[in-house]
A and B are shown apart, each in its own frame.
Chain A
Amino acid sequence: MIRPTLVFLTVFTALTGLAYPLGLTALAQLAFPVQANASGLGVVGQAFTGPGFFEGRPSATTPPYNGESSSGSNLGPTNPAFLDQVKVRVAAVRAANPTQSGPVPADLVTASGSGLDPHLSVAAARYQVARVAAATGRPREVLDALIEAHTEGRWLGVFGEPRVNVVALNTALVRLAGVAPDHDAR
């Protein structure tokens, strides 16, 4: 029993533990060099603060949007610490967006699962338009169009949720011709 154990363990380690991942690494690097190296735009979320940017989800990583150590908050829905945290976030979002009077989109005040979520719901992006327009001097219609252009629908119309990539959206915002009046965050 010892000989087959050693042979099968060695062969399967070589086959499934080395040949399989290494062979596919070679194939992936040849066929999909951008994806295989995580080098697309906005593959992982980034921290945005200041009125001139669209802000993303709250992040539970330390520091926020730490690409080397993903984590959710793991706070339960009846935990007083969680409810306090949301209360503070709601007050901050309301203070930053004084022209908005309705309820605050849930994704703006709840942490994502990974702490690295690059997306927002369309409603959460639109919620910030008035603030970003005032801070950057861009007309609201331009920003609405920008959100529209960066909205991805459900896959095949069925799977997942419609969403806006905040990193891509802010990149486009920065690239809009000319520099915004108080755009000094960079």
Chain B
Amino acid sequence: MSSHALIELLASFVVLTGLAVPLGEWGARLLADEARPTTPERWLYRLAGVDPASDLTWRAYAAALLVFNLAGTLLVYGLERAQAWLPLNPAHLPGVEPGVALNTAVSFATNTNWQAYAGETTMSLFTQMAALTTQNFVSAATGVGVLLAVIRGLTRVSAKGVGNFWVDLTRSTLLLLPLAALWTVLLVAQGVPQTLAAKVEVAQVANATPQVLAVGPVASQVAIKQLGTNGGGFYNANSAHPLENPTPASNTLEWLAILLLPAALCFTFGRLVQDRRQGWLLYAAMLCILLPLTLLGLWAELRGVPALAALGVDGSLGHLEGKEARFGVVSSVLWSTATTAASNGSVNAMHDSFTPLAGLGPMWLMQLGEVIFGGVGSGLYGLLLHVIVAVFISGLMVGRTPEYLGKKIEAREMKMASLAILLPSAAVLVGTAVSSVVTDGPAALGNPGAHGFSELLYAFSSTANNNGSAFGGLTVNGPFFTLSTAVCMLIGRYWVIIPVLAIAGSLAAKRRIPTSAGTLPTHTPLFLGLLVATMILIGALTFVPALALGPIIEHLQLMGGAS
């Protein structure tokens, strides 16, 4: 592996950690229960008839969250369908057809941002802003809210409530907004457009007719799509597009934004549970899985495709199909694992064209349940489910009652954790299996053979875990895929959120038990090993058979020179 690859990898993660730690501390101050609402916040609560001091049970919290998310989904659907009659549609785009509109509404409300459409040719500027950008904020804020509820479950003693959804939603949006504004300005400075025009004409060097470029309020949407782990691009090519991601500097900024909040929330967590070591442990566990898969991808992509070398292609820069010259292999692979570890799903290179093992890493990172960084808020509450399982398994091994941060882990928590881990996994496998046997699946493939199976597996791994990236060769705008992936997105989001809130409620009601000689400390390298091993074991047992049929077979074909 080239030294440049390792230097860029190392530099990226050093900068990420350096930014995430102070941001996490700031987040803890902003999101803590003790933080007093500002005057505009108080006006907002009064307008909404919400008492910010009132505490909701987990059931009431879940109900408020679901109603708010449902209303958001309906609003996006309505705006998409009606965009032809709404303002800011300079390209005169027609209303979005029902299947794609529904899929997109679910996709953005669930923080997935799976795109069954090409942005620049489907969505009006008004839809991109008022419908999609809004959901980019509030879906991420919803995730932070659920995380805060879990933190309260761990820190409160014999309590009925897990917090107030409306306050959490507002606070989290206020955390995102200034960061998004800052990133927008930085991206515009690098050359990302921010305009209310839909098209500009550019003189061509070798042709008398000008080139027409689709433009719009791109930077503001890209900033929040990255920071909110949304990932839905303004353009079809997402962050591979030279206007969505023009330079290596913009690429670094966007890469940082993918991981920044999921990383920072680890440190917010440590601060709020008053044991910073717990936050560092979760961050370390994430890196323990992300870094090896990134190295695997770098190795595979730099090694390239033997069949191309046989055709007389110089492979010294690695495999470049679907990659931009300004990013090359290294920045593209770093992005591919970051965007699938986090439930971001934006891409700066076409994952469908990756060599098989470089495609396997992103697929497996999604299949793990989007808990390695994961979505803003949702990644960390997902990881805490695995912590519960790890604590439980190690409790069984030494024959003691499992506990985490002074709270006993009992049958109810384990049941809920199992439910939340197993249901999205089942959705991935059932969705892939069904799509493989009905005629709509094979008919939609962009590539034959094992790679075609990988396209289906990737699609359901992505949607059932709310990632949103794709092996883009698969045609997904037909009724079978718009409906089946919408169902998967709903399962992946709410059938995790509800059990997680149930855990939060049950933990909050418990007493705190004092640390004893029988307590397994959860900040040690031993527990790090247990946690990482638990995640790998669950992920491998569930998905290795499916991965063997896709990327692993294709890797053997690639090495054997078969095509």
Contacts and interface: CB of A to CB of B under 8 A. Distances in A.
A78 B244 CA distance: 29
Interface of B: 4, 7-8, 11-12, 44, 47-50, 63-64, 67-68, 71-72, 75, 118, 120-121, 129-131, 133-134, 136-138, 166, 169-170, 173, 177, 180-181, 184-185, 188-197, 199-200, 202, 204-208, 211-215, 217, 219-221, 224, 235-237, 240-243, 246-249, 251-252, 304-305, 307-309, 311-328, 330-332, 347-350, 352-356, 446-451, 454, 471-473, 554, 557-558, 562-563
A70 interface: yes
A90 B312 contact: yes
Contacts of B217: 21-22, 24-25
21 contacts: A25-B194, A25-B217, A32-B189, A35-B188, A36-B194, A43-B213, A46-B211, A47-B206, A69-B121, A69-B214, A77-B355, A78-B558, A83-B307, A103-B314, A112-B324, A113-B237, A117-B325, A158-B11, A160-B328, A161-B328, A170-B205
A75 B353 contact: yes
Contacts of B173: 12, 15-16
A49 to B, nearest CB: 7
A161 B354 CA distance: 18
A56 B64 CA distance: 53
Interface residues of A, number: 97
A124 B326 CA distance: 13
Contact of B134 (A7, A13, A50, A80): A13
Contacts, number: 379
Given A3-B48, A106-B308, A106-B319, 8 more contacts: A15-B173, A73-B322, A78-B554, A113-B323, A114-B324, A117-B242, A159-B12, A161-B248
Contact of B120 (A69, A102, A170): A69
B324 A71 contact: no
B319 to A, nearest CB: 7
B448 to A, nearest CB: 6
Given A119-B326, A158-B7, A74 B353 contact: yes
A115 B352 CA distance: 15
Interface-central residue, B136, B192, B199, B312, by most chain A CB under 10 Å: B312
Given A67-B202, A155-B252, A28 B194 contact: yes
A18 B200 contact: no
Contact of B322 (A48, A111, A120, A155): A111
A103 B352 contact: no
Contacts of A94: 312
A111 B4 CA distance: 24
A137 interface: no
